[in-house]
Amino acid sequence: MVSKERVLTVLNHQGADRVPINYFGNPGIDRRLKEHFGLYADDDEGLLQVLDVDFRCIEPVYVGPKLHPDIPERGVKVDEWGIHRRWVEHPAGGYWDYCDFPLRNATQEEVAVWPMPNPDDYDYSMIATQCERHKEYAVVIGGQGTADIINKAGMLRGTDTALLDLITGDPAGALLTQRRTGIQLEVLRRTIEAARGGIDFLWMGEDLGSQNGPLIGLDLYRERLRPIHQEFVDLAKSFGLKVMIHSCGSSRWAFEDFIEIGIDVADTLQPEAKDMAPECLKKVFGGRLAFHGCISTAGPVATGTVKDVEEYCKKTLDIMMPGGGYCFAPTHLLQDNSPTENVVAMYETAKTYGL
């Protein structure tokens, strides 16, 4: 099978020639993997090919004006939404960390005039070309930051304020979500139209769990978040696309709602989080919801030996592969503390054992 056929077959809960494979990595491990395989530092496509990755993500490029200035004296980068990020070093590498939260105390009136990108300011002209270039792969639009309400609001207002906004219905928080998701929906619609049938599925995101339980209650999810998620699902389904949603931590409690609104695939599946054991997920939801992820970035890949990684990946494949409905991927970006040989073993196991 070519990659596209393999992925779509598995997402329809049928068996394929091998398990579909996906990859995400932090800058440190990404650099070391490219060095290991003799690739140039900017050869992203080469790394995907050597790892036999079956997915390709595409997106329109923002070409509009700089809406929010960077703060170079503090090393802060600011994107078109006004989100502040700074690079923070740690012993194993580094990470872009969110900071400042410029709308933490903003009023509804201030949120109403906060500069945001116009859908006209994205370049859709190369979307069809990108789809044609990747026509043998499963082509994805969106990502973990698409349709997510808690995370993105938290990046601008702080997570504590974002959660309080959900509970209280604060007008400023509600308007922020309305404006941002409305723009995202329109950008996605134009992207799908520009692709002329070349896109296979939409990837959404909403972190709903901590390691120990839900971040919010089911009633609050249904009142505040589910209607917005439904809009994104409906858009994708109107074009015949599959839909995957990313949710960190203990998020199984929302899976029945995911199924009801038309989501096809659950992503991340942190096995160490409460109620997220692979055996239980497969038993309860297998055949109704496909899975993507489940290879912990905090487990043997980061802390074990090559043999530990091989045994861990084999066990996960034994549980999740039968009957289709599983794509092999890390639960998050592979972290910089993961030994290169462990990550190589992870992908070699998927290719040789996931047949």
Res. 53: pLDDT tops 90? yes
Helix axes 171-195, 226-238, angle to 10 degrees: 10
Tokens 């503090």 locate to 74
Cα–Cα distance for residue pair 127/60, rounded to 1 Å: 7
On whether residue 282 sits in a domain, the answer given is yes
Helix segments in the chain, DSSP class H: 3-11, 27-36, 44-50, 108-112, 127-133, 150-157, 159-168, 171-195, 218-220, 226-238, 255-261, 278-285, 300-303, 306-320, 340-353
Res. 83: pLDDT tops 90? yes
Average per-residue pLDDT for the chain:
97
On whether residue 156 sits in a domain, the answer given is yes
CB 198 within 8 A of CB 139: yes
On whether residue 28 sits in a domain, the answer given is yes
On whether residue 246 sits in a domain, the answer given is yes
Reported as a pLDDT band with limits 50, 70 and 90, residue 210 is: very high
Tokens 């509600």 locate to 174
The pLDDT of residue 169 is: 96
Reported as a pLDDT band with limits 50, 70 and 90, residue 37 is: very high
Q: Which domain holds residue 177?
A: 3-64+105-353
Q: How far is CA 65 from CA 118, 142, 177, in A?
A: 10, 22, 22
The pLDDT of residue 67 is: 98
Q: Who contacts 284 (Cβ-Cβ below 8 Å, separation ≥6)? A: 252, 255
Res. 93: pLDDT tops 90? no
Cβ atoms within 10 Å of 235's Cβ, excluding its own:
19
On whether residue 264 sits in a domain, the answer given is yes
Cα–Cα distance for residue pair 211/34, rounded to 1 Å: 32
On whether residue 98 sits in a domain, the answer given is no
Tokens 């400042």 locate to 100
On whether residue 74 sits in a domain, the answer given is no
CATH number at residue 325: 3.20.20.210
For 132-161, give one letter per residue: b (16+ CB within 10 A) or e.
eebeebbbbbbbbbbbbbbbbbbbbbbbeb
Polymer length in residues for the chain: 355
Res. 107: pLDDT tops 90? yes
Domain count, the chain: 1
On whether residue 305 sits in a domain, the answer given is yes
CB 295 within 8 A of CB 21: no
pTM over 0.95: yes
Which pair of structure tokens corresponds to residue 9?
């077959």
CB 278 within 8 A of CB 271: yes
CA-atom Rg of the chain in angstroms: 20
Terminus-to-terminus CA distance in the chain, angstroms? Answer: 12
